[in-house]
A and B are shown apart, each in its own frame.
Chain A
Amino acid sequence: MKFFFFHLMPYSAVDLDAITDNTWIVFPNKHYDPKEGHKLYNRYLDELEYADQLGFDGVCVNEHHQTAYGMMPQPSVLAGALSRRTENAKICVLGRALPLTSNPLTIAEEYAMIDNITGGRLIAGFVRGIGCEYHAMMVNPGESLSRFHEAHDLIIEAWTKEGPFPFDGKHYRLQYVNTWPRPYQEPHPPVWIPSQGSAETMLWASHPDRKYTYLLTFSPTDSVTKHLNTYAEQCEKYGYQCTPSQLGWAFPCYVAETDEIARKEAGQHIENFFNKFLISPMQYKLPPGYSSMNSYKIVVESKYKARASYLSLESLISNGMFLCGSPETVASQLEEHQSKMGFGNLVTMLQFGTLPHELTKKNLEFFSKEVMPKLRHLGNQSGVAVAAE
């Protein structure tokens, strides 16, 4: 099992009372104080660096724009900062939102630079970016999927084909693709695809030409199990066996001395995360054309109606959106989940919402010292068993 620490870098100094129904796109930036931001960036980078010292296999950042939810509109800046201050941990950008750029070669360049500086410690995450980003960056959501695929092809070609060569896509047309530097890792850095379970993404990521690591993010355990199993089944259909290293699960988690202490220390902060930092109206999250019309209807029916109510600590724990408790509780739950889900990568969000520095450090220590050793041996088999249908 590989363990990763995923930081979302929330602007936790925000006035929570100012957040009524939205923290995205148009939540005014007067609520951002650069002096607090300065402190938070440095605190959060300290936490990521500390995770490297504690033996995490990787540290993760990601990309969101115009929101108090996360302070990382340009995640490669942070990956650059981390690349010289971490020793062993992989640096995972989960990920850059490919369709949002007008020239994806900038991403090929950023990633290749980080890979060179770190001598091959980069994990390259590719995402479409959530719907809100399409409002914030004015990129046409109806082009999101085709831009994603084309940008991906361009970046992989830039990394693997001898340049210069022309690229003639629908969205990107370039005369001289000739990326300097080339990536350090051969043939290119490992690619991870964070997703919330879209069938199209699964089909694409598991294709034998790619075999990308599929990372299920922030979903109830029932749906994580379903999606990861479907991914492994899809690999079988393609005629190969999925390895645990191809599957990952990202989730918020808090570990303390006892279940009771863990709930007490984490409760308010995780509720702030789900009920303050994450909220926005449905049409912000799901602009027209971002998904197919069928997916759109399904998501509107299921997800947003379910999320209309306040998510309490208890409900988050009971549906598995949040793992919280003593080392024994968390380790045994993870062991059970691993046996059903088959993942070989655990991407833990050990800071969330307003969780302060001291508790984040404590959480990192408990997780790395008390939970990781209990699970290290899991997910190391050569293949993921697919249940008979």
Chain B
Amino acid sequence: MAGPAPIKINVNGCEVEVLRQGAGTPLLFLHGAGGLKGWAPFLEELSTKFDVIAPSHPGFGRSDTPEWLDHLSDLAFFYCDFLEQLGLSNIHLIGHSMGGWLSAELAVMGTGRFQTLTVVSAAGLRVVGVPMGDIFMWSAEERARKMVFDKDEGERRANEKLSPEDADIALKNTFTSSKLCWSPRFHNPALEKRLHRIKIPTMIMWGEHDPVFPAPEYPNAWHTAIEGSELRLFPDCAHSPQNERLDDFLAGVYSITEGSER
């Protein structure tokens, strides 16, 4: 899908690439460890109702990799500056996987700019006794196969031959996500005790067959930690409901956002 032409936004000397399309209430989508995979159908759909803003995080895609990037919290503080610079408020915030963790880190700092929060197959919490899948121990092919529920699609992705530029971007994304998420692995032990601060309408969406953050334990942990949140689990879905269960995902987003428009 072609989508909007990428724009560059410079925040304090760090230039990030942003895809932006649509009008109305701003909707910020924060991608996961694999990076922003272009203008996916779910972004196109959302842009018919919202002003969709989908940046590639510092260290990912074609964005700069700044010297100061050591921890996931550095990204959270970057987005505070980013949103301030763009003058955005009343935002619908959606984060997937590592981006779900990032969105929660942003929300616990203060939900003033945000109208709703949607976390999808999110990293960030550790459920003791329920091991996560370890993407760093999987080969690229294993990772491709495990991340989608549909076997044929997994096989297609495992055998996909990337262009040299896309292969470099994939490697860059892996390097940065490893730097940010290696230890503690894909979580922040302090996040759980801060999640009670999130008092805006919150939607949690998850695939029943998530290979990294197993359901129902991981989504339940989010559901329990954020009072009043709504949880939607999708059958026949692995790690990316926004791609694997497009209609269910959109219904979830519309349900939480429509209830809160102010």
Contacts and interface: CB of A to CB of B under 8 A. Distances in A.
The list of the 4 closest CB pairs from A to B, nearest first, reads A142-B179, A288-B178, A140-B182, A138-B183
Contact of B178 (A25, A26, A141, A284): A141
17 contacts: A25-B137, A138-B182, A139-B182, A140-B178, A140-B182, A142-B175, A281-B139, A283-B137, A283-B140, A287-B178, A288-B175, A288-B177, A288-B179, A289-B179, A293-B168, A293-B171, A293-B175
Contact of A289 (B137, B168, B178): B178
B168 to A, nearest CB: 7
Interface residues of A, number: 20
Contact of B171 (A135, A141, A143, A297): A297
Contact of B174 (A138, A140, A288): A288
B172 A293 contact: yes
A45 interface: no
A282 interface: yes
A293 B137 CA distance: 18
B77 interface: no
Interface string B11-39: 00000000000000000000000000000
Nearest to A291: B175
B179 A138 contact: no
Interface in B127-181: 136-140, 168, 171-172, 174-175, 177-179
Contacts of A135: 136-137
Contacts of B183: 138-140
A11 to B, nearest CB: 22
Contacts of B168: 293
Interface of B: 136-140, 168, 171-172, 174-175, 177-179, 182-183, 185
Given A142-B179, A297-B171, A288 B185 contact: no
Nearest to B136: A287
Contacts of B140: 283
Contacts of A142: 175, 178-179, 182
A293 B171 CA distance: 7
B138 A283 contact: yes
Contacts of A238: none
B183 to A, nearest CB: 4
Contacts of A141: 178, 182
B70 to A, nearest CB: 8
B35 to A, nearest CB: 13
A283 B139 contact: yes
A141 to B, nearest CB: 7
A141 B175 CA distance: 9
Contacts of A310: none
A139 B136 CA distance: 13
Contacts of B138: 283
Nearest to B135: A283
A289 B183 CA distance: 13
A288 B136 contact: yes
Interface of A: 25-26, 134-135, 138-143, 281-284, 287-289, 293, 296-297
Nearest to A283: B139
B172 A284 contact: no
A372 to B, nearest CB: 44
Contacts of B137: 25-26, 135, 283-284
Nearest to B182: A140
B171 to A, nearest CB: 6
Given A288-B175, A289-B175, A293-B171, A138 B139 contact: no
A135 B178 CA distance: 11
Nearest to B185: A138
Nearest to B173: A288
A293 B179 CA distance: 13
A331 B35 CA distance: 55
The winner among A143, A287, A288 for most chain B CB atoms within 10 A is: A288
Given A139-B183, A142-B179, 11 more contacts: A135-B137, A140-B179, A142-B175, A142-B182, A283-B136, A288-B174, A288-B175, A289-B179, A293-B172, A293-B175, A297-B171
A141 B176 CA distance: 11
Contact of B139 (A143, A282, A288): A282
Nearest to A293: B171
Contacts of A297: 171
Contacts of B185: 138
The winner among A282, A283, A293 for most chain B CB atoms within 10 A is: A283
Contacts of A281: 139
Nearest to B140: A283
A141 B178 CA distance: 8
A26 B172 CA distance: 26
Nearest to A288: B178
Nearest to A290: B178
A289 B168 CA distance: 14
A98 to B, nearest CB: 17
A143 B175 CA distance: 11
A154 B177 CA distance: 29
A53 B179 CA distance: 48
A123 B118 CA distance: 57
B114 to A, nearest CB: 30
A287 to B, nearest CB: 6
A143 to B, nearest CB: 8
Contacts of B178: 140-142, 287-289
Nearest to A26: B137
Nearest to A143: B179
The winner among B168, B171, B172 for most chain A CB atoms within 10 A is: B171
